[in-house]
Amino acid sequence: MFDASELNLRNQRVQRLYTILFAMMTLLLIVPVLVILTTLVVKGGPALSIDFLLTNPIDGMTAGGVFPALVGTIWLVALALIISVPLGIAAAIYLSEYAGDNWFTRIINLAIINLAGVPSIVHALFGVGAFVLFFRFGTSILAASLTLAIMTLPVVIVATRESLQAVPFAFREACWNMGATRWQTIRRVVLPNAISGILTGVILEVSRTSGETAPIMFTGAVFFSPFLPQGIFDQTMAMSLHLFVVSTQVPGVPEELPYGVALVLIGMVLAMNSISVAFRTYLRGRKKW
């Protein structure tokens, strides 16, 4: 048997061992990210300039900038958010606040899980069949954004549902005891207190939609276009597809150009995520519990 001092020493050694173990696991996650970012900055930094951001590709895409692809990516991400976020929040509210535990809701939950695990190329083929051909949207920003929205919908639903369920049930009971309806309680109490968690799903969606290539390659993105899109039924360039093209399909591309495109794409994602994280932190700080 250990006495008190021996037991404390043993617990301290175990605690130190686990601390070192978790620190090493954290480093294993952080180091590859730092290596990737450092490589992009070192090799892509020389390509960055104001002209690189604000000019079109020229000389067979071996020179020039990324402006059409940058604008096209903003179109795709923004429209996908407009489509998927309201639909995902509405579905999460139904599943969390209204639906009971029955065979129908279990089928819906199973469908959400399966949808999250479908490869992006399968979503691309679905987008071609459903939006390009059946609904006759053609290869357009609308078709590509709808495909991205369907692909990222499970992320929004799961994040929103977990956030709604994290709101204490006592909040709901207090509102009901005051005579508020279920919808008034959701709209004025539950959703405001869950908004920071909902934004987590939005952040994840922005990151994924910005970097997807296969779903937009078949539904709305083009190899090259010198013109900016004028509406949702136009085709557009996109950063992820442009990176694929200049990296693999165009001969004679300077070494720094693909790295510069990748650096701009990473920077754009980080900028949008930073804005969302700052807004989420602000809202979380206003919680009363």
Quote the pTM value.
0.87
Look-up of token digits 């510069």: 260
Q: How many other CB atoms are found less than 10 A from the CB of residue 204?
A: 17
- Count of CB atoms within 10 A of residue 165's CB? 15
CATH code at 50-285:
1.10.3720.10
According to the model, what pLDDT value does residue 279 have?
78
| The predicted structure's pLDDT at residue 116 | 81
Q: What is the pLDDT of residue 75?
A: 94
Nearest of 75, 80, 121 to residue 238 by alpha carbon: 75
What are the backbone dihedrals phi and psi of residue 236, each rounded to the nearest 5 degrees, phi first? Answer: -155, 155
pLDDT at 289 over 60: no
Q: What is the pLDDT of residue 82?
A: 94
- Residue 129 has what pLDDT? 94
Amino acid at 140: S
Measured CA distances, 151 to 75, 203, 217 (Å): 17, 15, 14
Q: Is the pLDDT at 250 greater than 60, yes or no?
A: yes
Q: Please give, one letter per residue, the 3-state secondary structure of 96-119.
A: HHHCCCCHHHHHHHHHHHHHHCCC
**Quick one: 108 exposed, middle or buried, by C-beta within 10 A (0-12, 13-18, 19+)?**
middle
**Residue-wise pLDDT tens digits, 111-153:** 888 888 888 899 999 999 999 999 999 999 999 999 999 999 9
Mean pLDDT over 20-38 rounds to: 92
Q: Which of 251, 243, 247, 208 is nearest to 60 (CA)?
A: 251
User: Domain extents for the chain?
Assistant: 4-47, 50-285
The whole-angstrom separation of Cα 273 and Cα 166 is 23
Segment 162-174 mean pLDDT = 89
Report the pLDDT value the prediction gives residue 56, as an integer from 0 to 100: 92
Q: What angle do CA 184, 161, 267 make, to 5 degrees?
A: 115
Which single residue is written with the structure tokens 């693999």?
A: 248
